[in-house]
Each structure stands twice: as structure tokens, then as C-alpha cells.
Amino acid sequence: MELVLEYVIRGIADVFTTSSGAFDWMPLVMVVAGLFIGIIVGATPGLNGPFAMALSLPVLIWVFGVSDDALLPILGFLIGLMKGATVGGAVPAILFNTPGTPDAYLTTLDGHPMAAKGEGPKALKVAHISSVCGDTFSDMALFLTAPVLAVLIESVLDLPEKAALIILSLSFMAAVAGNSPIKGLTVGVLGMLLALMGTTLSGNGPRMTFGIAELGNGLPLSSAILGVLIVGEVFLGIEEAARERLSKDGPKSAPALGDNHFRWADFKRIFPNILSSSVIGTAIGALPGIGTTLAATLGYDFAKRTSKTPEKFGTGIPEGVAATEAANSSVSGANLIPVMSLGIPGNFAAVFIILAVESVGDFTLGPHVFRFTEIKEIEGYGTIINKDLVVAFAMFTLMVIANVCNWTLGGVVMRSLGVLARVPKSIMLPVVLLITLTAVYAQDGGFIAIWVVMIFGLIGYTLRRLDISILPFVIGFLLSPRLEELVRGGYSASGGDPLFLLKSPIALAFLVASVLIVYFATRKAS
């Protein structure tokens, strides 16, 4: 316990000191900046947290560099952004009935009727308090669960088991995200195949490049991911905006304000909904690939079923807003459980946390992070310590700081941003495209990045139109190099046994579980 406490203290101290021991306020400033920008992004239709994380990552790397000292300010900004965007998403949903994301649609069910009754400010207060409660609950679950899970995994899993675990995660994502698990798995494998272009482990020259010299170093990772995740969505948004002529829907006149005081009695009224939704959202968030929409749906549904007045849901009651906002916000912290303990991202925001960690400093995510190595001072050598664990606790500290800022300042910022919700998507989306193209060109230094982002944008658009989830594609693309290392390493270590994955009982269990999950999900879909 003493050792754990020492690592926690060193993690907290790491946030406020540089590697040379000088006081460092930058991570704190970046958390606050990220949170504020995140709330603004969330409140703006057409923008979302992962998009802002994708665009800000290259800028942050330019500003802070890639040294170990750069990692915490960059992660602080991204964590603040992630949390802020979750809170800000309620603004357009409540005030203008325009959900920026699918999960925010459920917030409109009671949030917008409250605004229509003149209780918009109160609805925003309910959304804010529910959102930060859910988020804080979820972070607590992360702090307690990730180390335990990681220690368990590290002690049990070797190369074949880790390879099988990645296959299991991909199968699970394919099964739960989208209506055709086999197609989801297919695009996941396709993403893995594309990620292998260029680089080789043996150094025998580039592979699968069609002779294009620019692909010798592989496809630019962030351009490809930005293309599928963000640009594909921009294509879709522009098409829909062109079809619906959204800009012609002028803002409706504001209703007269009613009672907008949020009292202790109001909090007591919505607290059971916040608690139940936080538990539901955290449980959903810990499983890779499911996402906030299901959490919000289940949270709202549970609140309605257990209410004494279910008929009032949908007419503009605080319980409805609290149930959805607590559920979708509690997904974000729990989503980092598979990231921190396994190095496997479960959602789009987690993808950018992993990208940041891989691009900056020596820190890597995975079960080894939570190895509680005994801290020893050796004269003439230095300190023996698991530095990754110190960084992990520093990350947790940044999350706590972001939560404190969110509790204290988030609500004020959120309630002052109603005007942003009026920015039409028809202007916002083409502008987003221009910024994206500029950023990827500047980051990767050439038109190759623009072509990659446009081609992957087209892939993202096509998959969405074909009703195939893009999440397995992105996760497959990201995890492919690691899976190749594990499979090749496992094969060599087994002495060339082609059945090495089936010889380990745990790996075999993971593979059987993968097949069963896809089988039952396919049966259900058919």
C-alpha cells in the first residue's frame, strides 16, 4: 500500500514538475484550455470531441515537441477537450433541438421541451451537473479498475494470448457496432491490411506500395484516421445539409423565461437517475466499441421504467435530461479502461489518446504500465522505478483536475455558449474540411497526406452509407502493426508451430469466444 501511495504522490508531482525538477504550470493550463475549447466544440453543430482532438494533436506536437516533458501538457489538453466536448454537446440539443451527436438526440427529448417552456437555463444546469457527476463516477471506476485488470492481464498473458485478445476485441467491436458483424469484421481486417503498407519488420524494403515512393514509410497514420473518422462524416454532413438546406431553418424566437433556479431539492430529485445512468454508462464504456448512444438509450429507458410517472418522460422533465447526460458522460472515463490496461482503444477519443502517447515521449500504454516495481535508489546508477506507472498516475491527476474545473467553471462556460448553436452546418462543415486539409498537409508535408485524407474520407463515407460500422476499420488499422509483431513473435517463439495460437488454453478460449460472439451476433442480425 505504501508503494502504491508513493507512485500516486510521484504521479501528482509529475504533473507540476519538469524532468529537471522545475515547477511546471503548463499541464494545468492545458487542461483548462482543453476543457474550455472542448465545451465550445461540443456546443457547435458539426464539430465534436474526436474531431477537435484530431486537429489539435499535430498543432500540440509542433508547439511542445515530442520529448517526455511534452507528454503531460498534450495529454492534459486532449483530456480536457474530451471532457469539455461531452458537456458542451447538450447545448444545441437543449436550446435548439439540434443534436450534434446521436446520443445528444436523447437529451432533446426532455431538454428541448424544457427550453420551450422557458426552462432552458435550468435544463442546461441539470445537464451540466448530471454530466460531471457521470464523468466523475466513471473516472473513479477507471482509477480503481484499470490497475487491477492490467496486473491480472500482465501476469497471465503472453504473446499468443495477447494476439488472441486483440482478435477478441475486434470481433466484439464488429459484433456490437453496426448491423452486420461479418461485414464489420471484414472491414476491420481490411483496415489491418492497409496499415501494413510501406513498413516492414525485417527491413527488406517497403511492401505493398504499388511502386509509389511516397508510401515507403507507410500511409500517414493520422491522415488516414482523420480521413475515415472526420472527413467521411464531413462528406455525409455536407450532403445532408445540401439536401435539407439546413441554413434556411432560422432560429426560433426565444420563449419567456420561467423558473430557472436549480435548488438542492432538484438535485435530490434527479440524483437516483444520475446514479443509475452513471453505473449503466460506466459498464457500457468499459466494453470496447459500444459507445455513448446505447448508454444514453439504456440510461433513459431505465429511468423511465423505474419512474412513478413514466408518462411525463418526453414532456420536459429534469429526470429525462439527467438520465441521458449522466449515461453518455460516464462512458468517456470508462472507455479508457481497455486503453490503459490493454492498450486497446474502445472509442474514437481513445484512438487519439493512443496516437498522442505513441507520438510523444517514451511512454506506452498496456498492461506493463501498472507493474508496481519497487522504488530503489542505487548509488551511481539512479532510481529504479516504473516511469510508465508514474505517468499513468499523472494522467489520472490530469483527469481529476479537469473534473474539478468542469464542476466549478464548466457550467458557466456552457450556459454562455447558446449563440454557437446557431452556426449553420452548411458553413461549418466546408470550413472544417479546409482546416483538416491544411492541418494534414502541414503535418505530413505534402499532397500525399491530402490524397490519403480524401481517399480515406471516401472509404468512411462509403462504409457509413453501406451501414457498416467504421470503428472496427479504425481499430484494425491502429492495432495491425502490434498484432503482426505478436503473431510473428509468437510463431517464432513456438519453434514454428502453425497451431501456436491454439496450444494456449487462454488464447484458445479467446478465439472460441470471438467466433461465438460473431456467430450469435450474426444470427441475431439475420
Minimum Å gap between C-beta 370 and another protein is: 29
Q: In this complex, which beta carbon is closest to another protein, that of residue 4 or of residue 66?
A: 66
Asked whether position 484 contacts another protein by CB under 8 A, the answer is: yes
Between residue 486 and residue 525, which ones bind another protein under the rule CB under 8 A? 487-488, 491-492, 496, 522, 525
Count of residues near another protein by CB under 8 A? 68
Interacting span for another protein (CB under 8 A) from 86-94, 221-229, 265-273, 431-439: 431-439
Q: In this complex, which beta carbon is closest to another protein, that of residue 205 or of residue 382?
A: 205
In this chain, which of 364, 373, 408, 462 binds another protein, going by CB under 8 A?
462
In this chain, which of 129, 165, 226, 238 binds another protein, going by CB under 8 A?
238
Interacting span for another protein (CB under 8 A) from 89-97, 107-115, 391-399, 461-469: 461-469
Q: Are 356 and 57 in contact (CB under 8 A)?
A: yes
- Which is it for the CA torsion 173, 176, 180, 181, positive or negative? positive
Between residue 209 and residue 228, which ones bind another protein under the rule CB under 8 A? 209-211
Q: Which three cell numbers stand for residue 112?
A: 428541448
The whole-angstrom separation of Cα 29 and Cα 39 is 16
Q: Are 214 and 446 in contact (CB under 8 A)?
A: yes
In this chain, which of 442, 509, 512, 516 binds another protein, going by CB under 8 A?
442
Q: In this complex, which beta carbon is closest to another protein, that of residue 412 or of residue 466?
A: 466
In this chain, which of 186, 260, 307, 386 binds another protein, going by CB under 8 A?
186
The whole-angstrom separation of Cα 243 and Cα 240 is 5
Reduced to 3 states (helix: H, G, I; strand: E, B; else coil), residue 23 is: strand
In this chain, which of 431, 509, 512, 516 binds another protein, going by CB under 8 A?
431
Contacts of 391 (CB under 8 A, 6+ apart): 11, 14, 71, 72, 361, 363, 369
Minimum Å gap between C-beta 202 and another protein is: 5
Q: In this complex, which beta carbon is closest to another protein, that of residue 186 or of residue 386?
A: 186
Asked whether position 372 contacts another protein by CB under 8 A, the answer is: no
The whole-angstrom separation of Cα 363 and Cα 39 is 28
Backbone phi, psi, residue 23, to 5°: -65, 135
Minimum Å gap between C-beta 300 and another protein is: 17
Minimum Å gap between C-beta 182 and another protein is: 4
Q: In this complex, which beta carbon is closest to another protein, that of residue 271 or of residue 491?
A: 491
Contacts 24+ apart (CB under 8 A), 1-8: 3/372, 3/374, 3/375, 4/372, 6/375, 7/372, 7/375, 7/386, 7/389, 7/390, 7/393, 8/393
Residue bearing cell 494533436:
57
**What would the DSSP string read from start to end of 481-495?**
HHHHHHHHHHHHHTT
In this chain, which of 13, 29, 33, 189 binds another protein, going by CB under 8 A?
189
Q: In this complex, which beta carbon is closest to another protein, that of residue 12 or of residue 423?
A: 423
Q: Are 199 and 481 in contact (CB under 8 A)?
A: yes
Please tell me what DSSP assigns to residue 17: B
Asked whether position 242 contacts another protein by CB under 8 A, the answer is: yes
Binding mask 386-425 for another protein (x = CB under 8 A): --------------------------------------x-
> What is the three-state SS of 29-78?
HHHHHHHHHHHHHHHCCCCCHHHHHHHHHHHHHHHHCCCHHHHHHHHHHH
Minimum Å gap between C-beta 474 and another protein is: 16
Q: Strand (E) positions, 331-434?
A: 376-378, 382-384
Can you say whether residue 361 is alpha, beta or left, with left for phi > 0 and alpha for psi between -120 and 50 degrees? left
Minimum Å gap between C-beta 92 and another protein is: 18
Asked whether position 57 contacts another protein by CB under 8 A, the answer is: no
In this chain, which of 23, 155, 205, 377 binds another protein, going by CB under 8 A?
205
Interacting span for another protein (CB under 8 A) from 27-35, 41-49, 89-97, 183-191: 183-191
- Name beta bridge partners: 17: 23
> CB-based burial of residue 29 (10 Å sphere; 0-12 exposed, 13-18 middle, 19+ buried)?
middle
Between residue 117 and residue 136, which ones bind another protein under the rule CB under 8 A? none
Q: Strand (E) positions, 409-509?
A: none
Can you say whether residue 356 is alpha, beta or left, with left for phi > 0 and alpha for psi between -120 and 50 degrees? alpha
In this chain, which of 183, 229, 346, 452 binds another protein, going by CB under 8 A?
183
Q: In this complex, which beta carbon is closest to another protein, that of residue 272 or of residue 481?
A: 481
User: Contact residues for another protein (CB under 8 A)?
Assistant: 59, 62-63, 178-180, 182-183, 185-186, 189-190, 192-193, 196, 200-202, 204-205, 207-211, 235, 238-239, 241-242, 245, 247-248, 424, 426-427, 429-431, 433-435, 437-439, 441-442, 445-447, 450, 454, 458, 461-462, 465-467, 483-484, 487-488, 491-492, 496, 522, 525-526
